[in-house]
Homo-oligomer: A and B are copies of this chain.
Amino acid sequence: MKKLINDPKNVVHEAVAGFGAAHPDLVRVSHDPNVIVRTDAPVAGKVGIVSGGGSGHEPLHGGFVGPGMLSAAVPGAVFTSPTPDPIVDATKAVDGGAGVLHIVKNYTGDVLNFETAADLVAAEGIEVRSVLVNDDVAVKDSLYTAGRRGVAGTVLVEKIAGAAAERGDNLAAVVAVAKKVISRVRTMGVALTPCVVPHAGEPSFSLADDEIEIGIGIHGEPGRERIRLEPADAIVDRLLEPILDDLPFVNGDNVLLMVNGMGGTPQVELYIVFRRAAEVLAEKGITITRSLVGNYTTSLEMQGASITVLKLDDELTGLWDAPVHTAALRWGR
């Protein structure tokens, strides 16, 4: 295992410290436990938004803390849910009197710990609502998950819910828009290589030299099938068909197409994937009106990619386009 780290035990702490040092205009960070909070939180009268989960998926979630997106992020140990304590700290830190939304990826540990935290802060009079992101169409009931997993579509939920909170929507309205995104977003991914969790020191699974895994989870959980490596266009077709069938996406739809790198994939490959996905969507009469290409929900140094499609309407497009200023996503300011 070769990594640019010091003691594997300190990876998250030191990365969070570095994040705070790099972005003092956006966030303040605290340690033991690790929490990343917007510098201007709490914002009086506006809904706060907290997300979190295991580390190793950066820029998710800390990279999305800032005006127009998350109010705070709670990074757990690598691939391990944060405990309720830092979720409680983050929730209190961002409550401006209008309540707080928890955006939770659907993994058993995350669901449980966010629920416990919500109960604890509710007892102190802070109103908390939660939404569960479960955009991965690959498998139902997986390692760590009952139901579908939450993966890269989480970024779109966080951006659009963040825009709704920023414009002053009340908690019920922010919940409604987050649920609307969740109901319209679908994802599927592929892994070419495994990744190495620093404190484990060994690959989390193994793939033969000519083998890839279709439908991989963002922790290397099993997907749908292992197949021989194929040309990118054939792989894209395998990922896109279950996505399009699921909602379903149909002729006349306007969509946001996101091609997400798993952390170790060269950018040229992501654009080769985008090219084929755009070709398939065009054939089906589906129009790409917004796009996002890059490393947004990663699995450490895993090579691979995921494709996410979100069915847009005027409201969601407007909220997507609204100004955002975070370390990983920024426009309009």
Report A's interface with B, CB cutoff 8 A: 2-7, 11-12, 14-19, 21-23, 55-56, 58-59, 63, 78, 190, 192-193, 195, 209-210, 212, 229, 231-233, 235, 257, 259, 263-276, 278, 288, 291, 293-295, 298, 300-301, 303-305, 325, 327-328, 330-333
Contact = CB atoms under 8 A, between A and B. Distances in A.
A166 B181 CA distance: 37
Q: Which residue of A12, A16, A274 has the most chain B CB atoms within 10 A of its CB atom?
A: A274
Contacts of A58: 266-268, 271
A232 B6 contact: yes
A183 B174 CA distance: 50
A4 B272 contact: yes
B265 A4 contact: yes
Contact of A298 (B266, B273, B305): B266
Contact of A269 (B4, B7, B328, B330): B4
A268 B291 CA distance: 25
Given A266-B300, A293-B327, A298-B266, A272 B5 contact: yes
Given A278-B21, A332-B333, A5 B295 contact: no
B4 A301 contact: no
B6 A233 contact: yes
Contacts of A295: 267, 295
Nearest to A5: B232
Contacts of A270: 4, 18
Determine chain A's interface SS by DSSP, over half rule.
mixed
A301 B264 contact: yes
Q: How many copies does the complex hold?
A: 2
A21 B265 contact: no
A62 to B, nearest CB: 9
Leading 5 A-B pairs by shortest Cβ distance: A18-B275, A18-B271, A58-B267, A15-B268, A4-B269
Given A15-B275, A22-B274, A63-B267, 10 more contacts: A4-B192, A4-B235, A5-B272, A6-B231, A14-B275, A18-B275, A56-B268, A195-B266, A266-B300, A294-B328
Contact of A231 (B5, B212, B331): B5
A14 B269 CA distance: 9
Given A22-B291, A295-B295, A301-B303, A268 B11 contact: yes
Contact of A232 (B4, B209, B232, B300): B4
A21 B328 CA distance: 22
A5 B333 CA distance: 36
Given A267-B59, A293-B22, A17 B275 contact: yes
B3 A269 contact: yes
B21 A275 contact: yes
Q: Which residue of A19, A212, A259, A272 has the most chain B CB atoms within 10 A of its CB atom?
A: A272
Contact of A4 (B3, B4, B6, B273): B273
Nearest to A195: B266
Nearest to A190: B4
Nearest to A267: B58
Contacts of A294: 328
Q: Which residue of A231, A264, A266 has the most chain B CB atoms within 10 A of its CB atom?
A: A266
